[in-house]
Amino acid sequence: FLEVILACKYPKRTIAFRLEWKKLGQSVSFVYYQQALQGDFKDRAELIDFSIRIKNVTRRDAGKYRCEISAPSEQGQNLEEDTVTLEVLVAPAVPSCEVPNSALSGTVVELRCQDREGNPAPEYTWFKDGIRLSGNPKLGSQSTNSSYTINTKSGTLQFNTVSKLDSGEYSCEARNSVGYRRCPGKQMQVDDLNISGIIAAVVAVALVISICGFGVCYAQRKGYFSSK
């Protein structure tokens, strides 16, 4: 388990002094007050001289801390302060990957990848059929068209005009200075628009409309719609 020491730089203990530790932010909270650790620090921290050792550090512990020491002096009460910034580095979790099951050739398609745990914020890499997609599509594999763009910061993979060559299994990796994780691969199938089927459907609808129109005209001629 990770532990850290928040060091308060004060030269030495005095006979009479008052020590307080505070966590700064939108609202100030006490870490050490009235000679006792506060909140959840009671069970996982200890005071060492003026410093605090925290065990089982989590991402929620990140932030700015200030120790305040007041002690008597010849001029009266003397106040010393020291501020410490705690940055908690966290490896990414398995990123959430959004990959459409199917797409039509020639359309714009966007794949999304996101991790909410990593600190510092991770960068993202996309893979197709286990092969890394190049940041420069023109230098990539011939099995993928060159109309895509990858945003390594936001994790998006966008095809400006997706083609059948882009069918395959896609996965995304989130990586920072601490570690990396990859989401399971998801299949995307790209199909051509069935023009012949659309034309056939349009012709069929037009034929039905024509037949209906012919029937109405025939009925009018026979006097079925004439008023008595």
Provide the residue ranges of all domains of the chain, joining segments of one domain with +. 4-86, 96-191
pLDDT confidence tier of residue 197, bands split at 50, 70 and 90: very low
Domains 4-86 and 96-191 share a fold: yes
Tell me: the pLDDT tens digits for 62-103? 999 999 988 777 666 778 888 999 999 999 999 999 999 999
CATH architecture for the domain at 96-191 = Sandwich (2.60)
pLDDT above 70: residue 205 = no
The CATH code of domain 4-86 reads 2.60.40.10
Q: Cα torsion for 204, 207, 212, 214, to the nearest 10°?
A: -170
pTM over 0.85: no
- Residue 172 near residue 186, CB atoms below 8 Å: no
**Sequence-distant (≥ 6) Cβ neighbours of residue 210 within 8 angstroms:** none
| Cβ neighbour number for residue 25 with a 10 Å cutoff | 9
